[in-house]
Amino acid sequence: MSDSGETEVLEGLWIVRFLEPNDPTADLNGGVAVIESGKIFGGDSGYFYVGEIEPTSNAVWQMKLQITRHDQNIESVFGDVDQFSLIGSSKQIADDDQGRRRLRVELFLLNGEQGLVAELKKVAELP
C-alpha cells in the first residue's frame, strides 16, 4: 500500500448500495463489505467480492475486485456470469447526518465497458 494512514481511515464495516449510473435513485442491489489493511471482503445475496484498495491522491482510492457467484439462482447486473473482475475509483463524499463516512465508487469491467456506481456507508469500526 502507498500510505497505510490513508487506508486506515477506510478500515471498518460498510453497507454497499449498487446504483444505476444514469439514475442514482435506482437501487440495483446491496450488500456489505469489510475493508482492512488495503483489502476488501464483501458480498450480497448472490455474489461475494474480494479485492484491494489503495490511495492514489487526496481522498481518492483505486480498487480492483474479483466477483464470484455463490448462488446459481442469482444473476448479476452484468448478466448470467459466474465470475468477473471490476476496477474502480472512489471518492469520499460528505459524511451523513450521523457523521458516518461515505464513499462513491465508479466501477467498470476490466475491458472498460458497462459501469455501475456503488455508494458505501461506514457503519462500524473494526475491533
Q: Please give the mean pLDDT across all residues of the chain.
A: 84
| Mean pLDDT in residue range 78-106 | 82
Hey, which residues does 55 pair with through a beta bridge?
A: 61
70 and 46 Cβ atoms separated by less than 8 Å: yes
Domains of the chain in sequence order? 4-124 (2.40.128.380)
C-alpha cell, 42: 464483501
| pLDDT at residue 2, rounded to an integer | 43
The closest alpha carbon to 96, from 66, 119, 65, 117, belongs to: 119
- What does pTM read for this prediction? 0.82
Please give the share of the chain, as a percent, with pLDDT higher than 90.
43
In tens, the pLDDT along 1-39 reads: 344 555 667 899 999 998 877 776 667 788 999 999 999
Q: Is residue 83 pLDDT above 90, yes or no?
A: yes
Looking at the chain, which runs of residues are DSSP E strands? 12-20, 23-36, 39-43, 47-57, 60-69, 83-93, 102-109, 116-124
| pLDDT at residue 1, rounded to an integer | 38
| pLDDT at residue 116, rounded to an integer | 83
Residue 68 Cα distances to 47, 57, 62, 78, 120, angstroms = 5, 29, 20, 12, 20
In a 13 Å sphere around the CA of 13, the CA atoms on its Cβ side amount to 7
